[in-house]
Structures are given as C-alpha cells and as structure tokens.
Structure 1
C-alpha cells in the first residue's frame, strides 16, 4: 500500500486516499483506500453517482454516513460495511469529536473511474438561495465546478 501514490480530493477534505484501482489497472471496479482523521471526509459533501454503486468497508474506527436527501445519519464501525445504490445521495466522514482515526476502503462498480456527467452534488445555490442538486465536473485545473441543475449558476469552491 505504501507504494500507491496518495491522491487527495480537490476540496482538501482528507489527507490520505490511495486509488488502488489505478495501480492494479482495473476497468470495472474502483478501489480506494482511506485514512481519515477526525473531521476528515471521504468526499466533499452529499453526492450521488448515477452510474455506480458504492460499498464502504471500515477497517478501524467509526465512520458516519449521511444517507439520502434527508441526510439520515448512520454510523459504520470497524468490521462493518454500507452500500449505496446508483443515484442514492450519500456522504461519509469522521466526526470531529471522534476518539480515533478511520481506515476504510471504498469500492465502486461498474467502472474504475468516475463518469463526471453522472455525478450530482447537493450544494447551496447562491441564485436559488437554497440547497439544490448540482452537476459536478472536474476542471482541467483539477478543481471541482458545480452547476445548479435548476438555474445554471456555476461555482468552484
């Protein structure tokens, strides 16, 4: 694992994410290894992959996941798994007051890479003045750009 490069999220929400599927050359499954400190997250917020289901396996610690648009919270402890269907909104993180770090795996299928056209992120829209689904893309500069599906307003955090 130490030979797999660390590639972090453009929103700097974690320090260690190792995209193992890149090293293995998988085409039909994404595999990411995470080490998360209290306050860290797997991704940048509540989002859904329209084309991919995801499974998270927690090796140590307790990860908290927000599930669905209503953000129901579910704690996933060491030795437990959680699955998200394609199109299901989710977000995972380590609570800021947690006693220990989390080590976990994230698996996605089909596909070893994201189809950015199939990802939606729930974000506050400055124009609509409320949280709405946003199209999500990764720019050539390696930053996220979110575009409100309702009004078309775009921003990059």
Structure 2
C-alpha cells in the first residue's frame, strides 16, 4: 500500500510551459499499470499543449472545477467538459484540452495501461517545417528534456 498527499507530490510541468501545475501522482505512488496526473490550469493553459494521441493508452480526464474545451480528432471537433464531468479517449484518438474560460481549472488526467507513456507510441500534430502544414509527428523527449518531433510524412525533425 502507498499513500500520498497531493500537496506533497513534486510538481513536474511540461517542457512546453503550457500549464502552471502538474503533479504526477502515479510516480509518487509507484504505480506500474495506471497513470494519474493532477493538474491546475490557469486561463489559456493546457493539459498537453497540442493535439496528440497515445496509441498504447486510453485516457480519461475528470474536471473537478472549471471547464475544459477539448479538441478531438484531426478535424478538431470541440467538446466542452464542465466540473463534475469526465471524458474518455481511446488509444489512437487525437485530443487536447484547454482552459478557455476566465477561472482556474482543477482536474485529473488518468491513463491505462501503463504508469507512464511509451514514447514510441506518442504522436503530436504540429506544423511541419518541410511539408508546410500540420502533420502527425513522432514525439519523444531529448537529452535536454525538450520535446523532439519527427514528421511522419517527410522525416524532418526539430525540438521545442
């Protein structure tokens, strides 16, 4: 058995600087098969920073306070999730969630299987510097702790 207080979990934010507070609770608990991240998002902040998918993991988001606007799929359908609501994304389904309101958001990102993402199974939709349009990119973390993207169409790579 493991027990932690959320306030005691170390904050580990995205290298993209897209949220003020992310606490990887699953790391603190030592889970192996379940990911659990607590977030606090100020207006215009995001859970992830961009449209992406995990081919190896389904994700569920629970909004405790505030509301989150999710963009879903490559066509970016908009779905509003309000306090007390949850939304599920199956493996391979593109999504991103933003606080587009005027008040802070508190919520959870939950995923399974796996306590952490398999970086070989993550794709992000970003502007390709060679193709000149948004395309899916393989996504990893490089040695400097920054996101590295490689276009699935042309193979061009860059880091942020």
After the TM superposition, list the runs of 4 or more consecutive aligned residues in structure 1 that deviate by more than 4 angstroms: none
Let me know the Cα RMSD of the aligned residues: 0.6
Q: For residue 55 of structure 1, report the CA deviation from its aligned partner.
A: 0.1
Alignment of 1:92 with 2:97, yes or no, is yes
Alignment of 1:83 with 2:88, yes or no, is yes
Q: Which runs of 5+ in 2 are unaligned?
A: 1-5
Matching residue within 128, 132, 135 for 1:132: 135
Aligned partners of 2:49 and 2:66: how far apart in 1? 20
Aligned to 1:13: 18
Q: For residue 141 of structure 1, report the CA deviation from its aligned partner.
A: 1.2
Aligned partners of 2:134 and 2:122: how far apart in 1? 16
Q: Which runs of 5+ in 1 are unaligned?
A: none
3-state DSSP class of the match of 1:22?
A: helix
Matching residue within 111, 117, 121 for 1:108: 111
TM-score normalised according to structure 2 size: 0.96
3-state DSSP class of the match of 1:2?
A: helix
Aligned residues: 155
Aligned to 1:27: 32
Q: Write out per-residue CA displacement over residues 30-59 of structure 1, whole angstroms, 9 at most, x where no aligned residue.
A: 000000000100002000000000000000
Q: Write out per-residue CA displacement over residues 102-132 of structure 1, whole angstroms, 9 at most, x where no aligned residue.
A: 0000100000011000000001111111111
Q: For residue 99 of structure 1, report the CA deviation from its aligned partner.
A: 2.4
Aligned to 2:148: 145
TM-score normalised according to structure 1 size: 0.97
